[in-house]
Amino acid sequence: MQIVVMGSAAGGGFPQWNCNCRNCYSLRQGNFRGPSRTQTQVAVSDDGHCWFLLGASPDLRVQIESTFALHPQGGTRHSPIAGVVLLNADIDHMVGLLSLRELHQFVIYCTVSLRQILLEDNRIFGILNRVPQQARWMDAKVGEGFPLKTVSGVETGTSCELFPIGYKWPAYVPRDRRERLEPDAASLGVTLTSAGQKRLVFLPTVPSIDNDLLQKLEMADLILFDGTFWSDDELVRVEKGGPSAGEMGHVSVGGPNGTLSRLRGLLGPQKVFLHINNTNPMLDPTSPEHKSVLEAGWRIAEDGWRFEL
């Protein structure tokens, strides 16, 4: 399985348009040692020709142009993008669907709940179904594995399993809709298993770490894991108020109950943080936080990173 990290930042990207925090300020000044980052986007492929996107970030258009493997190949209109797997209704995870609106045929795997939010409460996504056979919406069930297939039904060799990770819908989802949604579909993780039985676990949003999750991580060869905030009060301090990381549905990287501490015993898989907020001090390669991440055996994803399992 080939994996490309097309974007590695949390919602808003790095730098964020209205943020002047230490990281954003020094990046714009040209003094920051690390790279800028677009919003989290991952693509996977079994053969290098047919690709599935995990999520659809608002930056998808520029991310596709930055990723040679996703450029059109033959014919006047073409794309190697065969489909998209959606995990949640967060804006930074699905608005990019609207960048895939130019009549290309592709598959969208998501839960019935997520499809209802997109197509019934947000009519703009109807643009993906202007003509018959444009986007093909495939209902995915939480906890049931399924093979990734192209629009013409060809199996790619990769199989997919969605699992529940959180129970919070985005703020914009109307109350009457929430009452009719599958409770365990609000926020998902995904395990992708290649033909050769290699496993990627992709978790851009992790509210908390429990034993079920630990078991899944132990079976993985590579985990791409929520690195949004370093500490629970990170945004509170930058914004002088506002929600904690926990209230926003993210376990912190640092601290006694943070990911580094909780997953200290996880030695099998390659461990990579992505979905990193612009305020996170570990973005700065000269910071003690950055150093402690590397010392704990983790890496901090940058846009363009590739993996092969």
> Encoding tokens for residue 261?
């501490």
Smallest separation (angstroms) from its own copies to the CB of 15: 7
Residue type, 176: D
Smallest separation (angstroms) from its own copies to the CB of 260: 26
> Is 72 near its own copies (CB under 8 A)?
yes
Pick from 33, 61, 141, 291 the residue near its own copies by CB under 8 A: 61
Distance CA 54, CA 235 (A): 26
3-state secondary structure at position 299: strand
Pick from 8, 16, 193, 280 the residue near its own copies by CB under 8 A: 16
Given the rule CB under 8 A, which of 170-178, 180-188, 267-275, 297-305 is the region that contacts its own copies? 170-178
Within 116-155, the residues that bind its own copies by CB under 8 A are 121-127, 130
Pick from 33, 71, 141, 264 the residue near its own copies by CB under 8 A: 71
Contact 142, 112 (CB under 8 A): no
Distance CA 129, CA 266 (A): 43
Within 266-285, the residues that bind its own copies by CB under 8 A are none
Smallest separation (angstroms) from its own copies to the CB of 141: 25
Pick from 30, 31, 77, 295 the residue near its own copies by CB under 8 A: 77
Within 211-240, the residues that bind its own copies by CB under 8 A are 238-240
3-state secondary structure at position 28: helix
Given the rule CB under 8 A, which of 98-106, 142-150, 203-211, 296-304 is the region that contacts its own copies? 98-106
Distance CA 27, CA 24 (A): 5
> Is 168 near its own copies (CB under 8 A)?
no
| Three-state SS sequence of 39-73 | ECEEEEECCCCCEEEECCCCCHHHHHHCCHHHCCC
Q: Which is nearer to its own copies, 70 or 272 (CB)?
A: 70
Closest CA to 160 of 106, 227, 96, 86: 86
Smallest separation (angstroms) from its own copies to the CB of 132: 14
Smallest separation (angstroms) from its own copies to the CB of 138: 20
Q: 266-302 burial string, b = 16+ CB within 10 Å, else e? A: beebebbbbbbbbbbbbbbeebebbeebeeeebebbb
Given the rule CB under 8 A, which of 45-53, 55-63, 146-154, 191-199 is the region that contacts its own copies? 55-63
> Is 100 near its own copies (CB under 8 A)?
yes
Q: Which is nearer to its own copies, 167 or 172 (CB)?
A: 172
Pick from 46, 59, 232, 303 the residue near its own copies by CB under 8 A: 59
Pick from 7, 34, 55, 58 the residue near its own copies by CB under 8 A: 58
Peptide bond just before 15 cis, omega within 30 deg = yes
> Is 178 near its own copies (CB under 8 A)?
no
The order of strands in the sheet holding 298-300 is 146-149, 155-166, 187-193, 199-203, 222-226, 270-274, 298-300
Query: In sequence order, which residues have a C-beta less than 8 Å from that of residue 106 and are 6 or more positions away?
Result: 79, 81, 82, 83, 84, 100, 135, 136, 151
Phi, psi of 101 (to 5 degrees): -90, 0
The residues of the shown chain that bind its own copies, judged by CB under 8 A, are 11-13, 15-21, 24, 28, 36, 58-62, 64-65, 70-79, 81, 91, 95, 98-104, 121-127, 130, 170-174, 238-240, 242
